[in-house]
Each structure stands twice: as C-alpha cells, then as structure tokens.
Amino acid sequence: MTLRAHPQPRQSGADLKENDMTDNVIKVSLTRTNYLTRWHCHVCGGRTEKDPVLAEGKQDLGPSGDGKGCNSRTVRVCPNCLEGADGVSLDQRLESFARWLEYEAQITRAMIGKLQVPSFKEWQDAEKAQEAAWAEDRASDIESHRACKADDGGSTLPF
C-alpha cells in the first residue's frame, strides 16, 4: 500500500473531489469541505484543525459480506502528517497508530465484565444539579457585580 504524502491539487473544482481507487494504491486528493470540524486522521490517529480543504482518499476493503458489492472507507491524512516536519514517514506513522490501536483494543477488552457505572438516571440528576449550580453562580456573580457598580456610582453592566 502506498500513500502519497503530498497530493497535487487538481486544476478544476470539478476534479477536486474525485478520488481514485486502484489496487495497492490509495490515492489521496485534496477535497473541499464546508463542514468545518476537527476530522479524524487515519494515519496518526490525531485530528485536523477546522480546515476547509482536507486530504482524503478511499480505501478498498474488499468484497462486502453479502458478495453484492465492495466495501470501502474514506481515509483522511491530517496536515501534520502531510507536512511530516518531524521526519517520521507516513508508513511509520501508520505502524505506530496500528500498534496503539492494538493496545487500545487489548485494554478495552480487559474492561469487559469489570465496569461498575452510575445509572443513566444518576448521571441525568447530577447533570441537572450541576447546571443549576452554575446558574446560581452566574446569578450570584451578576448580583455581586451590580453591588460593586452601585458602590462605584452605578455604571451599567458590561454584559
């Protein structure tokens, strides 16, 4: 599998979103997005910033279970991985991330049968109590601010 570290931007906007899938190559291209969020990087496990241009490709995962189609997934390479300023290659990053995922799977399985958690109702009640406490704190802060301003001559609140 080869990942191109520095895909060349396409000339036209129509071609910008096209990603090629061929055997043994995952072609990653620059893709515009108007959904600005921090996307998962499939190379290092990190995240993008809220970037309007992403580096994405399609990974072929072989025939689907029912044999009627083909499974694939979008893979994304974050700007840090593209830049490679630390000198670590994409393949080294993939291997490191894969090892981390294997460790995470191992320690996640180790929790099976061991978790003792609060009920959802307990969580909801604690959440409501915390929101009420914050509201009370805000009301108290506003009253304190008003009292201070009244002592200073009664200027208006800044909010």
- Which one of 43-51, 52-60, 65-73, 122-130 is the stretch in contact with Zn ion (CB under 5 A)? 43-51
* Residue 28 vs 44, nearer CB to Zn ion: 44
For the stretch 83-86, contacts whose Cβ atoms lie closer than 8 Å and that sit 24 or more positions apart, written own/partner, are: 84/5
Least distance to Zn ion from the beta carbon of 44, Å? 3
Instruction: Read off the tokens for 127.
Output: 């959440």
Binding map of Zn ion across residues 81-120, x = CB under 5 A, - = no contact: x---------------------------------------
Q: Please give the Cα distance from 41 to 87 (Å, whole number).
A: 18
How far is 148 from 87, CA to CA, in rounded Å?
A: 56
- Considering the complex, state which of residue 3 and residue 81 has its C-beta at the smaller distance from Zn ion: 81
Tell me 76's DSSP state.
Answer: E
3-state helix, strand, coil in the chain (%, to 5): 40, 20, 40
> Under the criterion CB under 5 A, does residue 79 sit at the interface with Zn ion?
no
Distance CA 112, CA 26 (A): 35
| Token duo for residue 45 | 């496990």
Q: Report which of 104, 106, 38 is spatially closest to residue 76, judged by C-alpha positions.
A: 38
Q: What minimum distance in Å lies between the beta carbon of 15 and Zn ion?
A: 24
Which of 3, 41, 75, 90 is the binder for Zn ion (CB under 5 A)? 41
Q: C-beta of 154: minimal distance to Zn ion in Å?
A: 55
44 binds Zn ion (CB under 5 A): yes
**Binding residue count for Zn ion, defined by CB under 5 A:** 6
What is the contact surface with Zn ion in residues (CB under 5 A)? Answer: 41, 43-44, 46, 78, 81
